[in-house]
Structure 1
Amino acid sequence: MASQQKPVLIAGGGIASLLLAQSLYRNKIPFQLFERDASPVFRGQGYRLRLSAEGLDAIEGALGPEKWKVFWDTCGKTAGSGFQALDAFTGKQIDWSDNAEKPKEVTPPKPGSIKPEALTSRDGKIVGISRGDMRKIFLSDCEPFIKWSHQVTGYESTADGVRVIFADGSKSDEGSLLVGGEGIYSKVAKQLSQGKIKIFDTGARGIHGQAPTTAFKGLGEGVWRMSDRSREDGNVFVITNVRSGDMDDPNVIFGWTMGAQPGIIEPPGGDYALIGAPAADIAKSITANWHESIRPLFEQMIDQDAAFWKITCSSPSGVPEWPNDPRVTVIGDSVHGMTPAGGNGANTAVRDSALLGRLIAEAGGYQPGLTEEYEKKMRVYASEMVKGSYEIAITQFGVQIDEATSKTI
């Protein structure tokens, strides 16, 4: 790397930050990344992400040919065209539009009567990868430039650069540019936008879980959405991706994601950091009467891997504007947190990384006007993705955000 340049400073070690680091490393732009966790394995990273065509293109462009091949070979590829909906109690496929209050069973389904939500992204396959595997690949070669146990709480501008401020009051060496990628609680985003970037608590909650692949054999290959809309207190659904090549190997783990409308899933004491048995017990209780082809996902789940999650969303009206700072900008959930509906969050985050990384590489490092150009382009696609995610979540999670009155985090 060109050591005479002041480094690009990156706050946070999530997938958006790490992919940006990969892009800078590949283009020999010096950088320094600060992550609050003590190590790469400090937190579980198990649940699976579906990658869109745009997300795959962004990752390929940022990684370059050699690492892209490693990434692509690690991804799972599932046959099928999209989500297939199942009634959680009967186990039968249903034709269930997002706006329908009750399912209409299709027995047998007529050709073309069930139109799954399109998910294919490359080579006619649905492509996915676990967050942990993605993070591991994005970490390769970059660890020497990462400082663990460094929680970023703000920054200060200098005459010719920027410094990061840490939780203990210490400061980083001077950098040429700061990129905030610490997620929905980003202090960089709050300071940069002067509070204009807001994340709303939708009230909806979920649980992530995992089980040996043999527990999924009753479903078969595909991307499945199991729906229970019979509850008086609201809807519950589970989404999972079943790859045929791994289904008979008990040493391979598949994940699932449960989502529910507000009030159905509540961790003991409201502690969303709880993992393991508290989350597993709630998931098993909710699904105790579901169909025998579906119950093994929960009956055989690895209890210690279960975790709660809070469903949040940034402003549905779009990414706000703030006075541009030539030396500070933000990427990923720090600027456009999304609900999981539609699977847009991670794909939009890697688009940020690829765009910003390309602009920095083309400029040979920091240049005036760089952050302004990035933010102008990012606002267009990110606002569209946030709006789409929120519109799907209105039905899936029964949420409603009033930007004037809704609770922020």
Structure 2
Amino acid sequence: MTPNVKPILISGGGLASLLLAQSLLLSKIPFVVFERDASLSFRGQGYRLRLSSEGLDAIESVLDEASFKKFYDTCGKTTGGGFVAVNAITGEVIGSNPGGETLESREGKIVGIARGDMRRLFLEGCVPHMQFNKQVTGYEKTADGVHAVFADGSKSVEGSMLIGGEGIKSQVAKQLSGGKLKVFDTRARGIHGQSPTTAFKGLGEGVFRLVDDTQPHGQISIMMNVRASDMDDPNMQFGWTLVGHPGAIRAPNDDYTIVGKTAADIAKALTKNWHPRFKPLFEDMVENEAAFWKITCSTPSGVPEWENDPRVSVIGDAAHSMTPAGGIGANTAVQDSALLGRLLREAGGYKDGVTAEYEKGMKVYGSEAVKKSYGLASNSMKVKIDEATTPTV
């Protein structure tokens, strides 16, 4: 860290935070990342992400040429223009590219990467700047800086800025916006899973949504991205995500922090009547990788306005949580990192006006993304948010 230069403090070690850290590293701007987990491998890394043209462009604008090549080479490339919808019970194709959504991002291919691989690549060079077991619960301003406040009551070093990137339960976002930044619980639920690539051989290459309308509590479906080149390697895994209409997927005691065999068994029970071609996805799944998740969304009408603070702002899910529909969330988050990182690079670090310019741009594309994500989820998952009555997380 450069002597006598206050670092930029980053709360949370997710994808948006780490890509911002990469940007600061390349710009030689001092920073510290505070991560609540005990280590880099403390929790599962989740499912495979589809990268849009906008997401790839944002990542490429941050990384140097060699790092982006390594990143892009790690990504899987799948042929096909959109989802193929399949009846999960009969195995029959029931539609191609429903909704007309285009998924290609580069070279006519659908580009995807496992969240864990993405995090690992964004971490390169940043680990010495990370502090673990540091859960940020708020901040305190000083005359010319800011401290992050941790769950144990201690404070960080004084920073020039604090960027909240700690996800949907961000306390930085809550404090900064005076509670205006809200994340609603749609009541729709999902289960993430991992299976060896050999389990996907019955599908072939493409992006698939298997749909089951026979469930007693509402439709369930599973989404996955299958690359044909890897289906003969039993040591490689593909991720999938099983989602359901509100009430269709239920955890014991409504506890959606459960992971492992309990979540895996529920996924198997829900899909017990599915076509034999799809059974290996569940019969061969890696049980300890299974995990429930709540499907949430920020205010559907768009990112709200709050009084700008020159020294504090938010990125990623802390600013705009989205449903999984369309894979929009992560692609918008990396745009935050690229925009804020560029402004900080141009300013040489903290400068009055940087957060205002960032938020002005972010609120435009972020609001459009939330509206699109919510609209897609309303159609496919039957979620409905009433901003006056729907509970928040």
Partner residue in 2 for 1:101 = none
Matched, 1:194 2:178: yes
Partner residue in 2 for 1:263 = 247
Partner residue in 2 for 1:293 = 277
Partner residue in 2 for 1:32 = 32
* Identical positions, percent: 64
Q: How does 1:351-362 map to 2 (within 5 A)?
A: 351-362=335-346
Partner residue in 1 for 2:232 = 248
Q: Give the distance between the partners of 2:138 and 2:279, measured in 1 at CA.
A: 46
Partner residue in 2 for 1:89 = 89
Partner residue in 2 for 1:276 = 260
Please report how far the alpha carbon of residue 97 of structure 1 lies from its aligned counterpart in structure 2 after TM superposition. 8.2
- 1:378 is aligned with what amino acid? M
Partner residue in 2 for 1:17 = 17
CA contact 1:20–1:356 (8 Å) conserved in 2: yes
Q: Give the distance between the partners of 1:251 and 1:147, measured in 2 at CA.
A: 33
CA contact 1:81–1:116 (8 Å) conserved in 2: no
Partner residue in 2 for 1:397 = 381
Matched, 1:131 2:105: no
CA contact 1:355–1:374 (8 Å) conserved in 2: yes
| Residues 388-397 or 345-354, more deviating | 388-397
Partner residue in 2 for 1:76 = 76
CA contact 2:12–2:36 (8 Å) conserved in 1: yes
Partner residue in 2 for 1:50 = 50
- 2:158 is aligned with what amino acid? E
Q: Deviations over 1:208-235 (max 9, x none)?
A: 0111111100000000000112334211
Of 153, 163, 166, the residue aligned with 1:169 is 153
Please report how far the alpha carbon of residue 249 of structure 1 lies from its aligned counterpart in structure 2 after TM superposition. 0.7
Please report how far the alpha carbon of residue 81 of structure 1 lies from its aligned counterpart in structure 2 after TM superposition. 1.1
Partner residue in 2 for 1:6 = 6
Please report how far the alpha carbon of residue 133 of structure 1 lies from its aligned counterpart in structure 2 after TM superposition. 0.4
SS of corresponding position for 1:342: helix
- 1:360 is aligned with what amino acid? L
Q: Give the distance between the partners of 1:271 and 1:45, measured in 2 at CA.
A: 19
Q: Give the distance between the partners of 1:164 and 1:276, measured in 2 at CA.
A: 33
Q: Give the distance between the partners of 1:273 and 1:140, measured in 2 at CA.
A: 29
SS of corresponding position for 1:256: strand
- After superposition, the Cα gap between the structure-2 partners of 1:249 and 1:97, relative to the gap in structure 1 and judged at 3 Å, is closer
Please report how far the alpha carbon of residue 236 of structure 1 lies from its aligned counterpart in structure 2 after TM superposition. 0.7
Q: Deviations over 1:254-305 (max 9, x none)?
A: 1110000111211112221111111111111111111111111111111111
Q: Give the distance between the partners of 1:299 and 1:116, measured in 2 at CA.
A: 32
**TM-score, normalising length: structure 1:** 0.94
**TM-score, normalising length: structure 2:** 0.98
Please report how far the alpha carbon of residue 95 of structure 1 lies from its aligned counterpart in structure 2 after TM superposition. 2.3
Q: Give the distance between the partners of 2:280 and 2:79, measured in 1 at CA.
A: 22
Q: How many residues align?
A: 393
Q: Give the distance between the partners of 2:342 and 2:300, measured in 1 at CA.
A: 28
Please report how far the alpha carbon of residue 116 of structure 1 lies from its aligned counterpart in structure 2 after TM superposition. 5.7
Of 345, 351, 362, the residue aligned with 1:378 is 362
Q: Give the distance between the partners of 2:296 and 2:261, measured in 1 at CA.
A: 24
Partner residue in 1 for 2:60 = 60
Partner residue in 2 for 1:117 = 101
Matched, 1:217 2:233: no
